[in-house]
A = this chain, B = another copy of it.
Amino acid sequence: MSILVVGSVAFDSVSTPFGTAEEVLGGSGTYFSTSASFFTAVNLVAVVGEDFPAGHLEFLRQRNINLDGVSTMAGRTFRWRGEYGYDLNEAKTLDTQLNVFAQFKPQLPEHYRDAEYVFLGNIDPELQLEVLKQVVRPKLVACDTMNFWIDGKRDALLKTLKHVDILLINDAEVRQLAQEANIVKAAKAVLAMGPKTLVVKRGEYGALLFSAHGVFAAPAYPLDEVYDPTGAGDTFAGGFIGYLASVRDDSDAAMRRAIIFGSVMASFNVEAFSLERLRTLEFDEISARYRKFQLLTQFDGLEG
């Protein structure tokens, strides 16, 4: 089952203690689509400027990502510049140039409108709702957001959240959205806003899954080489929703497996700058790392 995703396609310039990358392929839509494409077909809605290289589009197309919803506008592509210190959990944004993204009015091609799985990447919640209105009857709607929208467009965000099944945000965002410091209480408050499922991304500390079924906790994969965490959250979401769409199952057991697939995809992505690691990744490697997550987390019961 294909996934409809709306998000940014961008040039990122990133500096970490391990190196720098200038104007490389990035953006939430790009990371999500590429990650999800390992599990299912993807229909991408985004905008790029006239400066966007055909080679990048070709890379996405070859990954079974439909680009009929990607429009090219006069002007420059969205650009983000950020840096990380040794604490790779937190990016410091140095510069954001919206460029063509400032005029982005997502229009879904006709053949996108019957999408069953939808991922609303981290964009203006009003635009997220606009996209959702153009989908006839989505089966599962997942959504990301950030402190900028939680703070600046709270009402619009709350309106969008009423139509969202799964919200994927980081722990600081959960606390900010719920206005509650305790993560368990904050999660309960968020689940009362609309989403039936909340995925709390915690960077190198893993992820939590909250729903009516209870809580599931997954660690991040301990890596001895982490070069660039940019896009890890969207890569996680791509693996998570990609897996769910591929099995057409939203049971608690499937959600738990999806969390592990999301964690697997994110763990590969941070091993190199931009999407470099995902370019060479094979599904065998994904399966092998899934099994390593089992070894990482398993322990005997009391009778074991």
Residues of A within 8 A of B (CB): 17, 86, 181-185, 188, 202, 204-206, 208, 214-219, 222-226, 253, 256-257, 259-260, 287, 290-291, 294-302, 304
Distance (Å) between the CB of A252 and the closest chain B CB? 10
Q: Is the CB of B222 within 8 A of A219?
A: no
- Please, how many angstroms separate the alpha-carbon atoms of A17 and B180 in the complex? 12
Q: Is the CB of B222 within 8 A of A295?
A: no
- Please, how many angstroms separate the alpha-carbon atoms of A205 and B130 in the complex? 37
Which of B217, B259, B291, B295 interacts with A296 by CB under 8 Å? B217
Q: Is the CB of B259 within 8 A of A214?
A: no
**In the complex where A222-B215, A223-B184 touch, is A297 in contact with B300 (Cβ < 8 A)?**
no
**Other A-B pairs beyond A205-B205, A217-B297, 13, CB < 8 Å:** A86-B181, A182-B224, A185-B224, A206-B219, A214-B296, A253-B299, A253-B304, A256-B300, A259-B299, A260-B299, A287-B302, A291-B301, A297-B299
Give the chain B neighbours of A86 by CB distance below 8 A.
181
Residue of B nearest to A216 (CB): B296
Q: Is the CB of B222 within 8 A of A208?
A: yes
- Please, how many angstroms separate the alpha-carbon atoms of A224 and B182 in the complex? 6
